Amino acid sequence: MTTKREMPVRALAPWFGAGRMIAPLVGRELAGCKWVGVPFAGGMSEIAEIDARSIAVNDLHRHVMNMAMVVAVDASGMARALSRVPFHPDALKFAQAKCLEMERGGWDFGELAHSAEFNWAVNYFICCWMGRSHKAGGADEFNGGISTRWNANGGDSNTRYRSALRGLVEWGRIMRRCSFTCLDAFEFLEKCPDTKETGIYCDPPWLILGDKYTHKFSESGHQRLAARLAEFKHARVVLRHGDNPLIEELYREDRGWTWLRSEGRTQTNEAKDESLILNGPSRADGGMFQ
């Protein structure tokens, strides 16, 4: 497991609605699991905190999954290539155009050469970290401009980009522990074993806020997910979501679910309520989550 002190940035991609602040608690609640399945990978900040022998990482978002796979095998090469890219609006526009070109051309990984996968990952990294923060995963992630700061207030976008670049080698070590799939979440869950050594971490697109994602998740999807997760009798299940009446009804405490309520931050750094929902007692030891 990698601690956040060792990481220049705390996510592989600056995902919309990412769980950076709650990630350490996710790791503690999955303590003891030897195999962990993650059906909604997103920006993957939680994966850095999961201490399991094997981690299966899944998402329908092909851009971020390709980047994760390339980072796993050639993070140093990506860092070298990116270090030669100027922090400039034209570089961002070129990368956005290339990623959109990949979408129009289809997703046949079997037909891609290594160089194509590598270049795609480099371009997506530029889109994520050179553009405005927390647009990754959203329906509008390829139409934003570069974030240039014109005063000394707050952080600098170029500094954020360079920090993400420096973190690639460490992210490579994290990603090398993982296997990757691009399946529907329910198809992925069908493959997860229901054993005491299994952990399942679910961070699906939230209700209402999740409408901004490329891959949305409807109310019926959440109802189906709750029913499927309830079928796991031995595996450790951890789910993240913000406050919502339907979610509270689907994961009622009198049905055996445990709620750990916390406070996260929105993309504009405003406080937001969020929770981890567990299919058993908390494994966290002390602190505000007891």
State how far the Cα of 61 lies from the Cα of 183, in Å rounded to an integer: 10
CATH of 4-278 given 3.20.20.150, 3.40.50.2300, 3.40.50.150, 3.40.50.970: 3.40.50.150
Question: Could you tell me the residue ranges of all domains in the chain?
Answer: 4-278
What would the pLDDT profile of 99-124 be if each residue is shown by its tens digit? 999 988 876 666 666 688 999 999 99
Residue 93: phi and psi, rounded to 5, are: -60, -40
pLDDT tens string 121-148:
999 999 999 988 777 878 788 988 887 7
In the prediction, which pLDDT does 3 show?
45
286 vs 35, residue with greater confidence: 35
Query: Smallest Cα–Cα separation from 270: which of 209, 201, 207?
Result: 209
pLDDT tens, position by position, 231-275: 999 999 999 999 899 999 999 999 999 999 876 554 444 556 899
Q: Which pLDDT does position 137 carry in this prediction?
A: 74
210: confidence class by pLDDT, cuts 50, 70, 90: low
Identify the pLDDT of residue 288: 37
Question: Using 50, 70 and 90 to split pLDDT, how confident is the model at 5?
Answer: very low
Q: What are phi and psi of 89, to 5 degrees?
A: -55, -35
Residue 211's pLDDT band (cuts 50, 70, 90): low
> How many angstroms separate the CA atoms of 144 and 128, rounded?
10
Q: Average pLDDT for residues 55-80, to the nearest whole number?
A: 96
**pLDDT over 70 percentage in the chain:** 84
Helix, strand, or coil here: 243? coil
- CB pairs under 8 A, 24+ apart, for 248-254? 250/222, 250/223, 250/226, 251/226, 251/277
Q: How many CA atoms lie within 13 A of 268 on its CB side?
A: 1
> What is the average per-residue pLDDT within 209-215?
68
| DSSP 8-state class, residue 151 | S
CA angle 227, 229, 234 (to 5 degrees): 130
